[in-house]
Structure 1
Amino acid sequence: MSDLALQFIYNAHSGKVNALFDIAHKLISPGTYSCDLCQITHETFSENAEFSALKAQHPIELFHIDEYEAHYPAEEHYPVIIVRKHGDIIQRIDRQRIGQLRSVGDLKSLLADIEAAQA
């Protein structure tokens, strides 16, 4: 993915208070937690180790909604993965597609498909 950049925008807001609410929600009612991307990339209290390794191999920027919207136009729905090539958006992976992913392995496969399509 040499000339591709990935932006992962979670369906969550930044800050310690929001993080505490998110953790509580994941513990009390994980089935109703509204960020499928968070479910793949994070454990309850920290980032998933397999995802951390994936980040070391790919140019991935992570954003909460408020952080993203401070620098870029708002997206219609979150979570979303935005694929950029030379700064331009070339693909959006929407929340429905993200909801189909079950693991970091599925995410790796999706990224490999995107990379192959750009080769």
Structure 2
Amino acid sequence: MNGIIFVYNADSGLFNTLTDIAHKVFSPETYSCNLCAITYGNFGMRQEWKEFLETLEIPMQFLHRDEFHERYGMQGLALPAVLLQEGEQLRLLVSADEIGRCADMADLKGLLQEKLK
């Protein structure tokens, strides 16, 4: 499969989701996943982000840290990250540092569009 893999710097599961929501609400400046902070509200993916992703017309996966490690076995990758999957190969498309420098959704969308050219 070829496509994009979005990897969040958060683990899956109900408890982790509730903890992340509380963290974003009460201490957003220390929240460790800027990809989550920009693309998700407290109760789901932001509509603007969802609509933007639909324009890309490329297969996508959205994985939490634990799901990514289990599925691909890659350790040591700074998260969050966006990867490009080309066959069995994974290539870093957008790094954690680049995502961290995004101030808002417009920055993230522009960065992703630039990298996909």
Give the TM-score normalised by structure 1. Answer: 0.84
12-21 or 44-53, which moves further after superposition?
44-53
Q: 1:15-54, aligned counterparts within 5 Å?
A: 15-54=13-52
**Which residue of structure 2 aligns with residue 64 of structure 1?**
64
User: Alpha-carbon deviation of 1:67?
Assistant: 1.0
Give me the whole-angstrom Cα distance separating, in 1, the residues matched to 2:63 and 2:80: 10
Residues 46 and 70 of structure 1: CA distance in aligned 2, closer, same or farther (over 3 Å): same
**Which residue of structure 1 aligns with residue 81 of structure 2?**
80
User: Alpha-carbon deviation of 1:87?
Assistant: 4.1
Aligned partners of 2:39 and 2:45 also within 8 Å: yes
In structure 2, the gaps of 5 or more residues are none
- Aligned CA RMSD, in angstroms, stands at 1.8
**Which residue of structure 2 aligns with residue 7 of structure 1?**
5
6-15 or 78-87, which moves further after superposition?
78-87
Give me the whole-angstrom Cα distance separating, in 2, the residues matched to 1:75 and 1:5: 20
Give me the whole-angstrom Cα distance separating, in 1, the residues matched to 2:75 and 2:54: 26
**Which residue of structure 1 aligns with residue 108 of structure 2?**
107
Give the TM-score normalised by structure 2. Answer: 0.85
User: Deviations for 1:51-85, whole angstroms, at most 9, x for unmatched residues?
Assistant: 11122223321100111111102242211111223
Going by fraction, where is strand more abundant, 1 or 2? Answer: 2
Give me the whole-angstrom Cα distance separating, in 2, the residues matched to 1:114 and 1:4: 16
Residues 114 and 92 of structure 1: CA distance in aligned 2, closer, same or farther (over 3 Å): closer
- Helix, strand or coil: the match of 1:70? helix
